[in-house]
Structure 1
Amino acid sequence: MAEARCAVSQPRIEPDDEEVKYPSRNTFRVWRRFLVKRFYRTRNLIYNGLWPTPIWNLGVLIFILLTLQLVQGSRTRWPSTILWQFADSINIPTDLPYGLSEILVSIFFGLIFFIALLYVRRYLLRLLLSYRGWMYETPRSQGLCTKLWGLTVRLVSGYSPLLYSCQQSLPRLPVPSLNETLTKLIDSLIPLYGENSNEIIALKKQAEEFAVSPGPKLQHILVLKSWWALNWVTDWWEKYIYLRGRSSLPINSNYYTMDHSFWKPTSRQISRAAVTLNQFMVFKQKLDHEEVRPLLIRNTIPSCMYQYERIYATTRIPGHEIDVLLHNNASKHVAVLRKGLIYRLHMFDMDDKLLSPASLEEQIQWIIEDADKHQDDHSYAEKCLPAFTCIDRQTWADIRKQYFSEGINKESLDIIENAVFFITLETIAVDTLIERGQYLMQGDGKSIWFDKSFNLIYFTNGRMGLNCEHSYADAPAVGHCQEFVMTNELIQPLYTKDGFAVKDPNFKQGKMKVPQRLIWDLPESINPHIDMALSFALKSKENIDLVVRMFDFYGKGFIKTAKVSPDAYVQSALQLTYYTYYKKLALTYESSMTRLYLLGRTETVRSLTSNLAEFVRSMHDETVSKEKKVSLLRKACNKHQGLYRDAMNGKGIDRHLFGLYVLSEALGYDCQFLKQTLTLPWTLSTSQQPQQQIATSPDCNLPEYDAKLGPGGGFGPVSDTGYGISYMIAGNKKIFFHVSSKRSAQITDSTRFMDILFQTLCDMRNLFE
């Protein structure tokens, strides 16, 4: 039946005709593309391999050595003597006509000196980047030592790096001290239980026993791994936290991001999709050519960029015990979902040119019309296939093996899993922040392919957003990509006054390939699995209570006048909000990046400290003066800022405890101490999202961009009885909050929490009046 349906309704694919008519032309084009790609790839490999030492240094060294020999005019004078003696010892010809031997010796020793210089600069830069004193000083109060260090880093770094040039010069993530980690762990739990509580007394005893055995042995093995591994924790983190996780991806792992907060560049769904698809592919090409510059903190200190390698064309393939990541960077098509039908859309024409926004408008219009025409030709199961990506990984792996391991089903699934990304052309409109967030987080149960690295969802009113898988990269990497697209929508004339994509009169698009509707051959026995998956997805969706709001009473501008860190200030407000609501403190997780180290990902900042607990309680004590409360707040914020910096510098405790636990399990130790500390529920799981990562982006504080700020995105709660909170401090006047919880908890209420949070922020400002 599937073959018959394909023959009747499948559009004719243009590439076949082209290849038959012009075989020689196609062969030439294929070879040309191959040679061009190979050239740029080889050039970038050489460029990155030599960084930070430019190739012209080799010419300078050869010139100096040659000049030295010719000017001296004798092989018996120092330092020429040493060069010629060494040349004789390794059988370099020295009896050639005058000048040729000197050139040969100069080239040989110039190359040796160049390689030595290369490695000296690289390891010197790695040593310099290991210095972290600059992070504990504000840019305006840097000491002379830090200023000299920064100048030295710039001199050693040399010329402008490509995307991955700095990777070999980044320092390795250090292993924290075992005793310091145990001490910090107990300190982080004292405000939760009380210093003299039974829980803390028992925990101290367990920590002392662990510090005797088997802690030191596990620590030594971890240090040994740090000597040979590029990063001693990242591979375990990706494997055990993400890929071995058997729970469903929506809510538990994936996250979402929104486009502009209130402004829309167009109300036309097709045009918005066409323009942004083109821009996302332009960014991919920049990544492929390494034209995106590495992120530099204070325009000096590079960050690790390895996560950018898998942003595009990556899919998390379900496995029975562990998932795997499929990455196909050669992919040139995307998968498009419309009314349950999935299409293969080629992003390049027959001449291997990226489709322009105007051409994509035509292709997307064709898909919409074809889906409207043929939606009744396909079964209920065929139109609900994305629901399988909503269920637990083991069940999805079993279904995938049973129904999608061969034949046309495997071919169609391969097209989806090898696509650059997945696109949903929705038939509904969402406008408010809450509506957009709720849909982007989970869709309708059958509209998002959660296994893909990221999904682009387009609504009928021109709104859009992303749903992203988490195992391959963290949110800032994808946020950088999205910021590129959103920024170009602001500063470039991509749309006409009527909302259509602008056509470039000088651009000539080659012959395009017609989109291909995917065909499936699904037996009736799959229907119960579809019903189960869809039911599970809808039940999970109904259980999530998500609220997204903008706080615009004040923002970063006022917080800085209070002389505290904006992030620490918001964290204090979150803890105070929870205490006001529940009359108790909450164990809080805040994510921090460790990308100052090679292959670094994240570390945990334990925001709940004794200083913060003292401030929170003082806010509910009318006998404490405003001045005292302000003093306690600043003390708590300074403590938090120190913890955040420590986490970025590899001095956190949670990844260390995780690494020790992985080793204890591998070596057969039953460490109840580690199990207990690592399974404590994070009542508040929080994350701050960066507002601007591209240096050339316009100033978001300008009035004309007030409605165009990105509100960021959100995620589900980690604890069944807790909250998932993300926030974006958007310029000087606004803060966007995303608060999620589970309705099944009964004790949580995202709306109530948000209401108290906004009142808390107002109360905290009143302290400074």
Structure 2
Amino acid sequence: MAEAHQAVGFQFTVRPDGVDLKLSQEVIKNIYLSGVTAWKKKAIQFKNGVLTGVYPASPSSWLIVVIAMMSSLYTRIDPSLGMIDAIKENLPYKRCISLQTRAVLSAILFATGLWLFFIYLLRYTLKALLSYHGWIFESHGKMSASTKLWLSLVKMLSGRRPLLYSFQTALPRLPVPRVDDTIQRYLESVRPLLDSEQYNQMEMLASDFKETEAAQLQRYLILKSWWATNYVSDWWEEYIYLRSRSPIMVNSNFYIMDFLYVTPTHRQAARAGNVVHAMLQYRRKLERAEHAPLRALGTVPMCSTQMERMFNTTRIPGIETDIVQHLTDRKHLIVYHKGRFFKVWLYTGGRHLLPSELENQFQRILNDTSEPQPGEQRLAALTAGDRVPWARARIKYFSHGLNKVSLDAIESAAFFLTLDEEPQGYDPAKPDSLDVYAKSLLHGKCYDRWFDKSFTLISYPNGKMGINIEHSWADAPIIGHMWEYVLATDCFHLGYSEEGHCKGDVNRGLPSPTRLQWQISAECQDVIEMSYLSARRLADDVDFHGYLFSEFGKGLIKKCRTSPDAFIQLALQLAQFRDQGVFCLTYESSMTRMFRDGRTETVRSCTSEAVAFVRAMEDPGATKAQRLALFLRAAEKHQNMYRLAMTGSGIDRHLFCLYIVSKYLGVESPFLKKVLSEPWKLSTSQTPQQQLNLVDINKFPKYVGAGGGFGPVADDGYGVSYIIVGENLITFHISSKFSSPDTVRPLYPPSTWRHLIASLLVFFHSISSPSVSNCRTPVGSASTFGKP
């Protein structure tokens, strides 16, 4: 054990003539280095905290102001208009201080106050500037003079080297939309989904709500928006994620894949060593707030709050609601392999373990032939099943003794690593390779990922990697930011030897990984088995397909002056209609991180304009010019809705919060109840890529990721995630359930995805024509949208 290894550094023997004390120089050296590192870390955190606290000013600017005020004492010019003299006369203990000292102290105090005033003035000026969102609504490539002036002012006030959290206090609050606007947009969004009678009924419900409960609920919501930093995010986390009692595996957690075409090494332990080391580097910069904040247009800052809980975080189950537990400065990792749990220390001598040292530790685990303890192999199935049984089992069986110690080790770990036994990854020779890879990342065997951890890193025997992410603490762009850094660092900075091992010497003197010890009773094993069977049924019901579309991509779509996202969303609407014969409520995720503590908003992609375009595509009598015009109108409508969602004028988060307020007040609203009960049969999301631009994919086209995916939101619907990779590749991750007759097509047994993919291909091929390939005008010629 690591603890025992450290203990042998101190030995003493009691003798008749005294105590014989022996000290290990190696241990003393490690203790000294650990202390130096800890104090150095605290000093850096303190320094960066000061820099963030006074941003956009700097500590040196305080010195300049003080010098200027001190100079005024000698020039007998009083820029304070008498305030320095007033401070001098009101200083405590002035009789004990000389007149000259009082004058100096007064000047310093006034200068400090003036400096703080300018800091707040700059912050609120920057906040006012960042509240302007007109630039989002301007045509791509065209920028008005007012926007150029605004952009210059933001750049000027943003400083030169902002740290990760420098902009947090300058970010504007998420505004509460007007109820009338939200209701109008909601009715507009459901118009294409309802017949005349249903729509008239919904209009009546909306009108009654607007005339009765709306004003009262809106007042409480505005009050919350003044008091809280964000009127949505805390309720969204609690009621959408933490209060859900259904399994988070498949239903909530999502995954991200490795590189598509590149595997830097086929040695499992070596790849895990480099990736874990890169994650530790990222965590160190995160703890010190040294990452640069993400900025739109390279200027407009995004909120960084979600990044705080990336590491050392676990979702703790409860009977009624879960909680998110975030710790600091955790120095160990938990590794799962063949039904055993191992604790691996990540530091030695005050530094991170080197990649070669981590490889050696992981190889020791791979070589370990010990058997799992009773109940240990499927223990993690508790985190995959329903939340209430897990919460009760945690209280009853894991609140004392060895079980508590071992569970605490898992829940306090930096993150969780699984060394899988079966190779995964994309193989062009195997059409279903991405499907199997996706299901492995999403749920695995239902007991070999700790689904409650902020993320589980998964390492495969062929060197491939991936991550499974718990959703409550953050959204996909946050973990995607870290994953881009890790993959780039792994391949382009750390690298491997010719034999595929991590670079550097191997330190074999490190203590071996420690097995976690369990005492799992037969009764507890029954609970574990029940959770496993429940999770297994859920996992077996999920069908997945990953599809790579490489005939064209963002490059061609942009040449046609069309938003790639709008293009894909319209393709999905056409695919959904051809698959189901009806339109459905469609969810597309949009971020609101331009506001403080912002997370997401919904874009309702099934618009009247999209429906008109799809019907034209299905109408043999419609001309290509008509289809093209309808497509342009639908794409513009989608883009406008996306912009409204990003700027705080979305529909669904506002209605959700009004509903929560109504529940607190005991107010029954048929309108809100109807809105919140509507199912999202088509749930979509675009995976972000190239947030950091650490890899030039034009120079290294093989170093592209496959993105990630999630399970279906509705039992009878589809979940579609897509990533627009570079200029010529779009990757789709499509999920549904075998149990739904609506998504199973006997013509394409046994999978549910084939009909949807076929529909997508029909649409893509319908515009993949020479006229589009050579287009330089908006979307090409009138022959673009010929129906095959």
Measure how far apart 1:96 and its partner are. Answer: 7.7
Question: Is 1:394 aligned to residue 392 of structure 2?
Answer: no
Residue aligned with 1:307, SS: helix
- Residue in structure 1 matched with residue 257 of structure 2 by the alignment: 258
Give me the whole-angstrom Cα distance separating, in 1, the residues matched to 2:520 and 2:128: 59
Q: Deviations over 1:124-164 (max 9, x none)?
A: 11111000011112463111111111111111122311111
Measure how far apart 1:87 and its partner are. Answer: 3.3
Identify the match of residue 373 of structure 2 among 378, 390, 396: 378
Give me the whole-angstrom Cα distance separating, in 2, the residues matched to 1:709 and 1:81: 62
Query: What are the within-5 Å matches in structure 2 for residues 608-757 of structure 1?
Result: 608-695=606-693, 697-702=694-699, 704-705=700-701, 707-748=702-743, 749-757=752-760
Residue aligned with 1:599, SS: coil
Question: Is 1:180 aligned to residue 171 of structure 2?
Answer: no
Contact between 1:440 and 1:467, CA under 8 Å: does it hold in 2?
A: yes
- Residue in structure 1 matched with residue 70 of structure 2 by the alignment: 66
> Aligned partner of 1:495: which letter?
Y
Identify the match of residue 44 of structure 1 among 43, 48, 65: 48
Residue 27 to residue 275, structure 1, CA distance change in 2 (3 Å): closer
- Residue in structure 2 matched with residue 5 of structure 1 by the alignment: none
Query: What are the within-5 Å matches in structure 2 for residues 147-226 of structure 1?
Result: 147-194=148-195, 197-226=196-225
Give me the whole-angstrom Cα distance separating, in 2, the residues matched to 1:397 and 1:98: 68
Residue 12 to residue 285, structure 1, CA distance change in 2 (3 Å): closer
Q: Which moved more, 1:532-541 or 1:649-658?
A: 532-541
Q: Deviations over 1:539-560 (max 9, x none)?
A: 1111001000100010001111
Measure how far apart 1:27 and its partner are. Answer: 5.8
Give me the whole-angstrom Cα distance separating, in 2, the residues matched to 1:16 and 1:366: 22
Residue 66 to residue 138, structure 1, CA distance change in 2 (3 Å): farther
- Residue in structure 1 matched with residue 748 of structure 2 by the alignment: none
Give me the whole-angstrom Cα distance separating, in 1, the residues matched to 2:376 and 2:671: 49
Identify the match of residue 17 of structure 1 among 4, 8, 12: 8
Give me the whole-angstrom Cα distance separating, in 2, the residues matched to 1:141 and 1:618: 31
Contact between 1:269 and 1:460, CA under 8 Å: does it hold in 2?
A: yes
Q: Deviations over 1:245-272 (max 9, x none)?
A: 1000111100011000121111111111
Measure how far apart 1:434 and its partner are. Answer: 1.6
Residue aligned with 2:347, SS: coil
Q: Which moved more, 1:432-441 or 1:612-621?
A: 432-441
Q: Deviations over 1:731-767 (max 9, x none)?
A: 1100000000010002212222122212222213345
> Aligned partner of 1:408: which letter?
L
Give me the whole-angstrom Cα distance separating, in 2, the residues matched to 1:298 and 1:96: 54
Give me the whole-angstrom Cα distance separating, in 2, the residues matched to 1:90 and 1:475: 56
Q: Deviations over 1:351-405 (max 9, x none)?
A: 12101111111111111122xx212x622x2111011111110111111112111
Measure how far apart 1:568 and its partner are. Answer: 0.5
Residue 318 to residue 19, structure 1, CA distance change in 2 (3 Å): farther
- Residue in structure 1 matched with residue 236 of structure 2 by the alignment: 237
Give me the whole-angstrom Cα distance separating, in 1, the residues matched to 2:508 and 2:327: 25
> Aligned partner of 2:63: which letter?
G
- Residue in structure 1 matched with residue 428 of structure 2 by the alignment: none
Give me the whole-angstrom Cα distance separating, in 2, the residues matched to 1:383 and 1:410: 17
Measure how far apart 1:430 and its partner are. Answer: 1.8
* Richer in helix (by share): 1
Give me the whole-angstrom Cα distance separating, in 2, the residues matched to 1:79 and 1:421: 56
Residue aligned with 2:315, SS: strand
Q: Deviations over 1:295-352 (max 9, x none)?
A: 0111111100011110111110110000011112221111101100000011111x12
- Residue in structure 1 matched with residue 562 of structure 2 by the alignment: 564
Q: Which moved more, 1:205-214 or 1:744-753?
A: 744-753
Q: How many residues align?
A: 743
Measure how far apart 1:86 and its partner are. Answer: 2.5
Contact between 1:336 and 1:425, CA under 8 Å: does it hold in 2?
A: yes
Residue aligned with 1:181, SS: helix
> Aligned partner of 1:619: which letter?
M
Give me the whole-angstrom Cα distance separating, in 2, the residues matched to 1:18 and 1:293: 42
Give me the whole-angstrom Cα distance separating, in 2, the residues matched to 1:88 and 1:36: 39
Measure how far apart 1:44 and its partner are. Answer: 1.9
Measure how far apart 1:510 and its partner are. Answer: 9.9
Identify the match of residue 414 of structure 2 among 416, 420, 428: 420
Residue aligned with 1:745, SS: coil
Residue aligned with 1:325, SS: strand
- Residue in structure 1 matched with residue 777 of structure 2 by the alignment: none
Query: What are the within-5 Å matches in structure 2 for residues 289-688 of structure 1?
Result: 289-349=288-348, 351-370=349-368, 373-375=369-371, 378-379=373-374, 381-431=375-425, 432-503=433-504, 512-688=510-686
Q: Which moved more, 1:160-169 or 1:493-502?
A: 493-502
> Aligned partner of 1:185: which letter?
Y
Structure 1: runs of 5+ lacking an equivalent: 1-9
Give me the whole-angstrom Cα distance separating, in 1, the residues matched to 2:650 and 2:176: 10
Question: Is 1:761 aligned to residue 759 of structure 2?
Answer: no
Give me the whole-angstrom Cα distance separating, in 2, the residues matched to 1:609 and 1:19: 73
Measure how far apart 1:187 and its partner are. Answer: 0.3
Residue 485 to residue 115, structure 1, CA distance change in 2 (3 Å): same
Q: Deviations over 1:583-637 (max 9, x none)?
A: 2112100001100000000000001111111101000112222122111111111
Residue aligned with 1:261, SS: coil
Measure how far apart 1:89 and its partner are. Answer: 4.8
Q: Which moved more, 1:512-521 or 1:308-317?
A: 512-521
Give me the whole-angstrom Cα distance separating, in 1, the residues matched to 2:588 and 2:310: 23
Residue aligned with 2:739, SS: helix
Measure how far apart 1:64 and its partner are. Answer: 2.1
Give me the whole-angstrom Cα distance separating, in 1, the residues matched to 2:696 and 2:10: 49
Contact between 1:258 and 1:711, CA under 8 Å: does it hold in 2?
A: yes
Give me the whole-angstrom Cα distance separating, in 2, the residues matched to 1:310 and 1:337: 22
Measure how far apart 1:103 and its partner are. Answer: 3.1
TM-score, normalisation: structure 2: 0.91
> Aligned partner of 2:539: which letter?
K
Give me the whole-angstrom Cα distance separating, in 2, the residues matched to 1:79 and 1:287: 42
> Aligned partner of 2:383: which letter?
T
Residue aligned with 2:259, SS: coil
Give me the whole-angstrom Cα distance separating, in 1, the residues matched to 2:69 and 2:142: 45
- Residue in structure 2 matched with residue 4 of structure 1 by the alignment: none
Contact between 1:262 and 1:708, CA under 8 Å: does it hold in 2?
A: yes
Contact between 1:356 and 1:509, CA under 8 Å: does it hold in 2?
A: no
Measure how far apart 1:79 and its partner are. Answer: 4.3
Residue 537 to residue 13, structure 1, CA distance change in 2 (3 Å): farther
TM-score, normalisation: structure 1: 0.93
Q: Which moved more, 1:659-668 or 1:132-141?
A: 132-141
Give me the whole-angstrom Cα distance separating, in 2, the residues matched to 1:440 and 1:385: 18
Measure how far apart 1:524 and its partner are. Answer: 1.7
Q: Which moved more, 1:252-261 or 1:482-491?
A: 482-491
Query: What are the within-5 Å matches in structure 2 for residues 22-37 of structure 1?
Result: 22=24, 28-29=32-33, 31-37=35-41
> Aligned partner of 1:729: which letter?
I
- Computed over aligned residues only, the root mean square deviation of the Cα atoms, in angstroms, reads 2.0
Residue aligned with 2:378, SS: helix
Residue aligned with 1:140, SS: coil
Measure how far apart 1:527 and its partner are. Answer: 2.9
